Amino acid sequence: MQKKLVTLAVAGALAAPAAALAQVEVYGTIHMSLNYMKYGESSTGIASVSKLDVASHASNIGVRARESLGGGLSAWAQVETNASMERSNNIAHTSNFASRNSAVGLQGGFGNVFVGQWTTPWADLDALWGIGTVATYGPITSIIGRRETTGAAPNPNCANNFSGNGGGGLPAGVAAAQPTCDSVEGAGGPGHPFWRRISNSVFYQSPVFGGAQVKLAYQTNQDKSVTTATTTAADPQMWSASVSWAGMGGRARVGAAYDAHKEFSAVGQTDKGWRVTGGFNFGFVDVGLAYEQMEYKPVVLGVVAETEATQWGIQLAIPIGQGAIRAAYSVAEDLDIIGTEVDGTGAKQYNIGYDYRFSKRTTLGVGFAQIKNENLAVFTWSGLSSSNGGQSVTPPPGSDVSIFFTSLIHRF
């Protein structure tokens, strides 16, 4: 990818003789699609609807800076934000500055240590298998990972948090006095995603040894609290770790990750998950595979309603000319709650398309994708148009989502 690189002389004529050079890079990706989409009739009787939509797919702009400190040590920083390229219901999308991967760190022979907001080691493993998607209409963050949430850990002392309803251990009458928090702090409950970008966090990435690398992340317990008249004692925080290996010139790759989310679903409980991803490029076809399992532990009426979610998927890329045919199939199995499978909570996702690379910077794609939701499921892709009711992007239960699309990506 070509990028605009500006080299700034930090030390001027009056500085020390050994001038330090800071490299500043401005970069970005503009990714848009024109979609013909259909939300099918829901299991509750809401009618189907077909519509056209222009969607933006994680379009972004960022700035990176790096400075050599000598002895193999470098300091670096990155600030990346969403680029609002569309309006929804005539309201401009909001993009807080530094809303994407943004951090500052030190890198050397020991590896890379940084603090800020970044995708987790769990999420980074998607690069090992995510080769079968045109645009973003594939399994990642729709079926696999069960969608993305950006920001801090859920706060148990928010009235709009699932675990803030008294079931998480709050004193009697406290829930009614709790504040309603913003969508980030208030997010939680069964189904909170493991595919995350976490803030308020510390990260470590080891050097690559023989194709292997270890990544670690810890989200701090900034929302730790004590019991008061309107709050309960809580200590929400999370950990994420992965190990990956790539060999044979990158043709073979495999990785595994483990996450632990303390007090995200309920006070005193820790949600956990593990996953394995990988793939192999045979030359005539590149194959990617993923399998993951999450365990959520909400407390309902004083009982731990242990909920197990299992997802898996396969992706294919077949090179043709300056592009490739890309396809994927993925499954979210029915949830298992306290050892009982709950029918109607699963979904399947299919997609196929072709993308053509005019250059390293510009890619044109066309394709079709569909999510078939069972009676109680509400899976969809992020960034889509409003659903059957013309408002929420989350479809009503049991509504299938189909889409024909043409996409254009330009990187700079």
CATH number, domain containing residue 24: 2.40.160.10
Domain residues for 133?
Answer: 4-411
Quote the number of domains for the chain: 1
Residues 82-113 pLDDT 10s: 888 876 554 444 556 888 999 999 999 999 99
Q: Residue 32: what residue type?
A: M
d(CA 364, CA 404): 14
- Residue 1's pLDDT band, with cuts at 50, 70 and 90, is very low
| List of residues 6+ apart from 228 with CB closer than 8 A | none
β-pairing verdict for 237-247 and 4-9: unpaired
pLDDT above 60 (res 338): yes
> What backbone phi and psi angles, to 5 degrees, belong to 110?
-80, -15
- Look up residue 308 and give its two tokens: 């197990």
- Mapping DSSP to helix (H, G, I), strand (E, B) and coil, where does residue 176 land? helix
CB distance 98 to 228 below 8 Å: no
Main-chain phi, psi angles of 376, to 5 degrees: -105, -5
187-237 pLDDT, tens digit each: 777 778 888 789 999 999 999 999 999 999 999 999 999 998 888 899 999
**pLDDT tens digits, 233-254:** 999 999 999 999 999 999 999 9
What pTM was estimated for this model as a whole?
Answer: 0.88
Q: Among candidates 226, 209, 252, which has minimal Cα distance to 170?
A: 226
Q: Is 117 exposed, middle or buried (0-12, 13-18, 19+ CB in 10 A)?
A: buried
Q: How far is CA 236 from CA 1, 94, 254, 266, 337, in A?
A: 39, 27, 31, 9, 23
Higher pLDDT, 211 or 155: 211
Q: Which residues contact 380 (CB under 8 A, 6 or more apart)?
A: 142, 371, 387, 393, 394, 395, 401
Which of 47-56, 58-67, 182-191, 323-332 comes out lowest in average pLDDT?
Answer: 182-191
Residue 3 confidence (pLDDT) above 70: no
Pairing of strands 307-320, 340-341: unpaired
Determine contact, residues 298/163, Cβ cutoff 8 Å: yes
Q: Which amino acid is at 388?
A: N
What is residue 21's predicted lDDT score, i.e. its pLDDT? 61
35: Cα separation from own chain's centroid? 22
Query: Does the pLDDT at position 372 exceed 90?
Result: yes
What's the confidence (pLDDT) of residue 15?
42
- Round the average pLDDT of the chain to a whole number and report it: 87
Residue type, 313: G
- Which one, of 288, 328, 318, lies nearest residue 126 by Cα? 288
Cα 88 off chain centre by? 21
Neighbours of 1 (CB within 10 A): 9
Q: In the predicted model, what is the mean pLDDT of residues 367-375?
A: 97
What is the largest distance, in Å, between two alpha-carbon atoms of the chain?
Answer: 76
Segment 49-53 shows an average pLDDT of 94
- Burial of residue 49 (CB within 10 Å: 0-12, 13-18, 19+) is middle
Over residues 67-95, mean pLDDT: 80
Backbone angles phi, psi at 121, to 5 degrees: -55, -35
- Asked whether the predicted pLDDT for residue 22 surpasses 80, the reply is no
Question: CB of 293 within 8 A of CB of 275?
Answer: yes
Angle value at C-alpha 126, between 385 and 407, nearest 5 degrees: 35
Compare 181 and 370 and report the one with higher pLDDT: 370
Q: Note whether 149 and 192 are within 8 A (CB).
A: yes
pLDDT digits (tens, 9 = 90+) for 259-301: 999 998 889 999 999 999 999 999 999 999 999 999 999 888 8
Contact 94, 86 (CB under 8 A): no
Residue at 13: amino acid letter: A
* Residue 152 confidence class, pLDDT cut points 50, 70, 90: confident
Which pLDDT band, with edges at 50, 70 and 90, does 257 fall under? Answer: very high
